[in-house]
Structure 1
Amino acid sequence: MDLRQMILSSILLFGFVLSSNYDDLSYNKDASQSHTAAGTEHGAQNAVDRNTTTCMRTKPIGSTSPDKTAWWKVDLGGVYNIYSVNILFKNYDGYEKRQQGRFAGFSIYISNSKDWTESSLCYKSGHQLPPLNSTTTLMKSGRYVIFYNERLDGVTYPEDYVSGTVFTELCDVIVHGCNTTGMYGSNCDMPCPVNCKVNACHIQNGNCFECDPGWQGTYCDKECDYGWFGQDCKQRCIGFCNNNVNCNHLSGRCDNGCANGWKGPLCNIEQNLSYKKKSTQSSTAIGPHDLYKADNAVDRNRATCTRTNQIGLNSPVERVWWKVDLGEVYNVNSIDIFFKNYNGYEMRQQSRFAGFSLFISKTGNMENSSVCYIDGPILPPLNLTIFCNAYGRYVIFYNERLIEVSYPVEYDVSFALTELCEVNVYGCNIAGVYGNECNIPCPNTCKEKTCNVRNGRCLSCKPGWYGSYCLRECESGWYGESCKNLCSINCKNTTCNPMTGHCPIGCVSGWTGPFCSRECVRSYGENCKLPCSPHCSQQKCHRFNGTCLTNCTDGFYGEKCDIADPTDERTWVIVGPISLTVNMVFIIGTSICIWGVFTKNISISLNKQPCVKSRPYTETEVTTETATYYQELAVPADREAYSNTTLR
């Protein structure tokens, strides 16, 4: 035996001696495998029965098999600190190298979950063939130990690997470790540090694999650094804690409360949605630079105030407004307004403040906004909190002194200045939530997922839903936002899609279209699927029953002009050919008669004339016969009985 083999044997022996001091965690524990070879003696449990003559066996994997992967798994029953895994692979006399080639390339995973794909790889066999009795030192913790091997198509494996037909045959799998959770040491008699995650640590030295949230260090005995908290101390404190103290290193909460203007469990929800947001106003009074600018009302400094030009009888201006853009659409809960006060002039300021209105808008226009508050008729306090459950991006302060309006006698109608020192808008700075901590989602069926910031009731429902929390579907025959719209009476069964109002099962006779709102044209019946008869004049028919509204075309009759006239057919089929034949016979016969008379007259004329040259003019004697078969024709008196004919 050479020196290298001696060293390797010594290491294996030392590892075996160490592992023998630990508990057998896998004996008779529940085992499973990816698939099982044919037969009843190859079950997964054979690998943990401590009988090396019984072995589990999977179906073959490799290039000659449809299966390409195989796994075997044992459930230790709890999370334990593991020292090593010993695997005894099946051997056959004379086939040791073949078995090593099948065993080669295997991996060992450890997991706390049944899904081994969520596990961590602890060991993978290399290019060299492994011994059939293999011990792997892991120093891990976990509940499930998984053996895995594969022979994938398209992968080139080392030459000694068997890649054609690979059976997985495990005769014994021994997991050594401490069978008491949270213990380590050679005798498993020392507890893991208290802040080790899942009470798991290195089985020999007690180092934590992971720390509980809020702790760091080798033994998880150090709190997170200032400004950090949570798992592995990787989460930054995001809140504004009172007196600028650090957040809780475990939870990130502010143990001593939130700084002014912030709320929520992490003190990261700004109570004042309007703070330092962009503000504008209808006009700005003349004064030193920026003294009366609109942004003074959102700077959290009550000593700086806005001021507009005056409105009232002594001014050409009748209306004034101030507006803040919150930056996004939020659920607004309440608004605090601090109007400018002067010592000894409180009532005057109240009279200038009186009659104002508040609007919440998504667009910035009062015309498309929700009225949040209208003051009057008694004078308001100069510091006022208004509860307003609305949803919007813009908060608008508005006041007016119209000439044609009579105001309460306490109102200042001549010289009303608007001076806002602070406008604080409170609500949730996260869209779609409500509650004191702004951590409860609005119902999904609320329109735009907006709800009352205090109780979660929907401000409006999505199409197809109704009720305070929009949890009830539209009843049959209704649809749209908050189910306020009636389905068309032309929908079949008067039912429609509760969201769109479309008629899902079609239209009654005479109607068509998604809402069954279009009358049939040149068609009739349900959904106008039946065309009017082409034999209706202009193809016009009754849209309900198909009856022609005009006359039928020639050759057809009936209510729908769909019955052909049989008499009309015989006239053309029989009389037509007969008439044609008679006419042809008449024409031919007449032609023959004319031709016969013509030829006969010619022959008679030729027989009476002598064969001498005639003169240009020939006199013909008229003879009278005693009997004639011809009718006498009367010759007019002014004409001779015969005329001379000149031959040319």
Structure 2
Amino acid sequence: MNCAHGYWGADCKSRCSEGCTDIGCDKVTSSCFECDSGYHGKYCDIPCPVHCRYNCDRLNATCTSCYAGWYGDLCNIPCHSNCIYCSKSSGECSRCKNGWYGTYCSKPCSAESGCYNDYCTKSTGDCSICKIGWFGSKCENQCPNSCQNGCQKSSGYCISCSPGYWGSDCSKRCLNCHDCNKNNGYCSFCSSGFWGSNCSNICPNNCESCDKSSGTCLFCPNGFWGSNCSKPCSTNNCNMCDINTGFCKSCESGFWGPNCNYRCNNCSNIKCDISTGACETCPDGFAGENCNIKCEISTCLIWQCDKKQGFVCSSCLNGFWGTLCGKRCMPNGNCNYCDKTTGICDSCVSGYWGTVCEKKCSESDTCEYCDRNTGICNSCLSGYWGNHCEHGCPENCDGNCHKSTSRCSCKHGFWGDLCERKCLAGDRCQYCSKTYGTCSACKNGYWGSLCEKECPIVCTGQCDRYTGKCSYCRPGLRDVNCNRTCIEKNCETCKGTGDSYSCTKCRAGYWGQGCENQCSSERCLECHMTEGRCILCEDGFWGNSCNQKCQNSCQCCSLTYGTCSAPHYCLRIHDRYHATGI
């Protein structure tokens, strides 16, 4: 009985070696019939040498081929360092790295000039292609200086010459020639100002350039025409005229017409069409071909000033309608908005209703807006309520009251639906509950459940509602109870408890951790507490030390740059203006 592929033994339960191919192994000895790639030995359980490429001999491990850079039976000898590939048996290089040649790639290609990409023939070291500017078998020779785009590798003949040169080595000069034939020196394009087969003739004086064969002028300077550019254009206002006829082709800025004798109208940049006088562009606020339509109508809200279409108004001010918004919506002036095309009223001004807004919302003028069709009041003026806004809001309301119930927000010190009751704490209460009258916040300077106690005199403003402790101390005082002074005499405010405290603000003119330093100048009204630089100068001065004067015409100037500032940017300090450009 034969075993299934991959198994051996009397009961066919033992697995063949992993190095065996799918053909399997001998049922009795377990030796592999054939090894997988990368293995050798009777049982195909020994890896081939590490640099073997593909397979090795099953009995002696000789490699079939080597990976790049190695040679020998077992591929364990490195090729020469400049080899890419070498012979498996001899180690001779079959391909060199760029820049090297020879049997073992040990010789450098010509380094002084340069093979293109540093590549040379392996056997001789000759360059296949030279870098631009070099020639010779090893690219050891430099091309002539006048060569353009290099020269031929074998002969050194120039491929093309620089402008003004010709010959195989581009050593011969083409006089007055911009471009001449490399082989015979014939000039095909003369330099500006010359003509003739050898470009030896000078163009007429006024010519910018002339015909190479005839010497006739091709381009004249502005203001002249004719074969020799000797004739002046017909008028002083002509910028350029036809070289053959003298007719003006371009007028000076601001003129038009055949002889440039008409002035452009209200054109922007003073430019107009030479034939029609039509403006290229109009200045802001004008339209039309000649920019003679003024785009300014006070009753137009949104408009466009178009050169071709003229003045186009797309939206009118309230109360006006029509193409140019020149018509009033209603003769009585009570229409707020009307249709721009038909003039039909869309909404009435405050206090009026009806088809043409002819009726008053209320006789007492207390109704702000009412229904356009029924006259029923929708919104009362501040301080009124009722169907017709006929009732005044309760006197202690803070602003408006509800139109139907007259309920409102109360002024400070009052509570109740109609704000008819005084807060339990009286005038000392800042806010009290509108429902119960209990005080939720005391006015500055008071504390206690009914705000009945005054804050200590050492406090500035508020103190704690329940303990009476100061929220902030008066200048010069510190500690929890504000009962200790800031020791430094120039310290205006400080913070901290016990002996651990620090100044938070110095008196005017001083700076430093303990406010021990004076500001750098008497003109410095205030300086930075930690850096000492001025942040507020006396009027008329600027700079970190306020030692530089503003310009004579300045009322005040930037502290940093000294540039003038408008008066409304200046702050009034100690009855003086100073710059705000800190």
The TM-score normalised by the length of structure 1 is: 0.20
Looking at secondary structure, tell me which structure has more helix per residue: 1
Q: Which has the higher strand share?
A: 2
Structure having the higher Rg: 1
Q: Which has the higher contact order (CA 8 A, sep 6+)?
A: 1
TM-score, normalised via structure 2 length: 0.22
